[in-house]
Structure 1
Amino acid sequence: MDRPFRFEVEAAGHLGHVFAARRPAVNAADGGPDTAPPAPAVVLVHGIGVSHRYLRRLHGVLAGSVDTYSIDLPGFGATPRPEHTLTVADHASYILGAMEQLGVLEFMIVGHSMGTQFAVEAARQQPGRIPYVVLMGPVVDSKRRTVVQQALALGRDSLFFESPSANALVFTDYLRCGPSWYLKTLRVMMGYPMEEKIAGVAAPVLVLRGASDPVASADWCRRLADRAPSGTLLEIRGTGHVVQHNRAAEVAEAIMSFAGLPRAASDVPREFRA
């Protein structure tokens, strides 16, 4: 996959980055134009403290089949920090506004960790634009709604269930984020009632977790899938919370299958650099 284009986009009063990759053209056997049926783009949304970097492998696989976009939300990655703490609704408004500015009016949204909250909120704000919602490792478990419980689960995950490369990406992004912005955003994350909000999502929802994920437990993910009007639960074995990095090809296959879309010829993860 070619290096994606990076767009600096101001939307909803804030500045973020969008990394865009177009799928390769598929020519007909007679050398005619692209005959593949139109498919919604895929927008990948990171979680608290991190950036697009731990989504790069998944982005690389998906971009072989569909137009794929990864977002660095305002205040994360290399984006400037907003003057005030943003709510989940603020982040969702940024995603919707940024994609509209890029001419992407319909898209499947795929969020990871706190990014699942942004995905749910975006689907609630403008349901006509989002035909499918994918929630990878969703938070926050309503039975473990304290910072200490979440921190212990994340610690277990990083010690026992993550690859060294996943830990390196996450922890270096945490350093870039800084403790002040992380803690401000953490309060927002802990206060978002995912189990209530998901009931208002009209689009089909895929709840996807690494089978060893201590942050997004099997019970919690099952309850979320049941609360969604049209919910499906899927587990990827042999990995923890950062499932999209450690099992990119399997996650991409699940996303494409969920949306009824054909896969590209290659399933080899291709990680872009940006």
Structure 2
Amino acid sequence: MHYVRRGAGKPLLLLHGIGGSWRSWQTILDGLAVARDVIAVDLPGFGQTPPLVGPVTIAALADAVTAFLEAHDLIGIDAVGSSMGARLVLELARRGGVLGAVVSLDPGGFWKGWEKPVFYRSEALAVRLVRALQPVMPAITRSKVGRTLLLSQYAYYPRRVSPHVALDEMRTFANAPSFDELLTDLVEGRQQQGAPKGTITAPLVIGWGRQDYVCFPYQSTRALAKFPDARLYWFEHCGHYPQWDQPAEATRLILAATGGQRFLDADIAQRTPAYAVNKPRVPKAAAVAGVVALVAGSVWLLVKKKRR
């Protein structure tokens, strides 16, 4: 697997989400590297790593990550995952003996009923639209309005995501050869298994954005039911990617949780209670605008296909 390595100290593994790459972590990579030897990988079929030979599933990716850690003498490494990568680190923690301390940020895989087709169709439509828009993507990501329409499902503050971070994500999102097959497995494949209480002895923290429109916050209850040894941490004013919306807070949580420190949520958040209570309505409107943009994009694609 292709990877980048920065910093010095105790090793720390970063696993990105579906459609992402090691660049998905660039907002917090240098901050983590101040204290840790950070290893951010491109999972098979994403970024610069070739696809797997055989079916693309969460189990197969977990096997590939385990083989990578064995080859680099990194078994027992602390790990952080985002979205699909967050589910992956939970799977590796469940298996035992692979990882040390784990931070799982907004993990996928805890959908039920209607949530599954909604997730699948929204992601399938998004990737089709992003692929179609690649020729003009640099111009779109340079615009605050463009970033709002593109990222409102994923970020609470889409306008604040830097243009180069947005462009990198949209490039890897569109060009990942394993995206479609893995998306199908996430929805139709084997459900995430849990770990009985007392079986995970290393620190395990599940972080969740209060305004996550991909993995809805109430799904955290299901995650904790399957991983009762986990501690839940809430990111206020945060969407699906804490490393985008709350990078400093995400960095503090990761370093504290994987460093074996005892910490209070208030120390990680470093905000007043009023900040957590007063929630502006603008980002919610932006999310609606993003959904409208996706629908409009799908209509445009269908019309274009029909004309051809």
Which structure: greater strand fraction?
1
State the structure with bigger RCO (CA 8 A, min sep 6), 1 or 2: 1
Question: CA 1:227 to 1:83, structure 2 compared with 1: closer, same or farther past 3 Å?
Answer: closer
- Residues 1:131 and 2:131 aligned together: no
Gaps of 5+ in 1: 1-15, 25-38, 263-274
- Residues 1:157 and 2:142 aligned together: no
Corresponding residue SS for 2:35: coil
Contact 1:198 / 1:224 at 8 angstroms: preserved in 2?
no
Residue identity in the other structure for 1:132: A
- Residues 1:70 and 2:40 aligned together: yes
Question: CA 1:199 to 1:61, structure 2 compared with 1: closer, same or farther past 3 Å?
Answer: farther
CA distance in 1 between counterparts of 2:221 and 2:45 reads 32
Deviation at 1:184, TM superposition (A): 0.8
Which structure: greater helix fraction?
2
Match of 1:185 in 2: 182
Higher CA-based Rg:
2
Match of 1:258 in 2: 257
Corresponding residue SS for 1:235: strand
Question: CA 1:150 to 1:206, structure 2 compared with 1: closer, same or farther past 3 Å?
Answer: farther
Question: CA 1:82 to 1:105, structure 2 compared with 1: closer, same or farther past 3 Å?
Answer: closer
Aligned runs of 1:1-274 on 2, under 5 Å? 16-23=1-8, 39=10, 41-125=11-95, 127-143=96-112, 144-152=114-122, 157-158=153-154, 161-162=157-158, 163-165=160-162, 167-178=166-177, 181-190=178-187, 191-194=189-192, 196-199=193-196, 202=200, 203-261=202-260
The number of residue pairs the alignment matches comes to: 229
CA distance in 2 between counterparts of 1:103 and 1:159 reads 35
Using the size of structure 2 for normalisation, the TM-score is: 0.66
Corresponding residue SS for 2:27: helix
CA distance in 2 between counterparts of 1:259 and 1:82 reads 29
Question: CA 1:152 to 1:71, structure 2 compared with 1: closer, same or farther past 3 Å?
Answer: same
Deviation above 6 Å: which 4+ runs of structure 1?
Answer: none
Question: CA 1:244 to 1:159, structure 2 compared with 1: closer, same or farther past 3 Å?
Answer: closer
% of aligned pairs identical? Answer: 24
CA distance in 1 between counterparts of 2:176 and 2:228 reads 35
Using the size of structure 1 for normalisation, the TM-score is: 0.73
Gaps of 5+ in 2: 127-150, 262-308
Corresponding residue SS for 1:146: helix
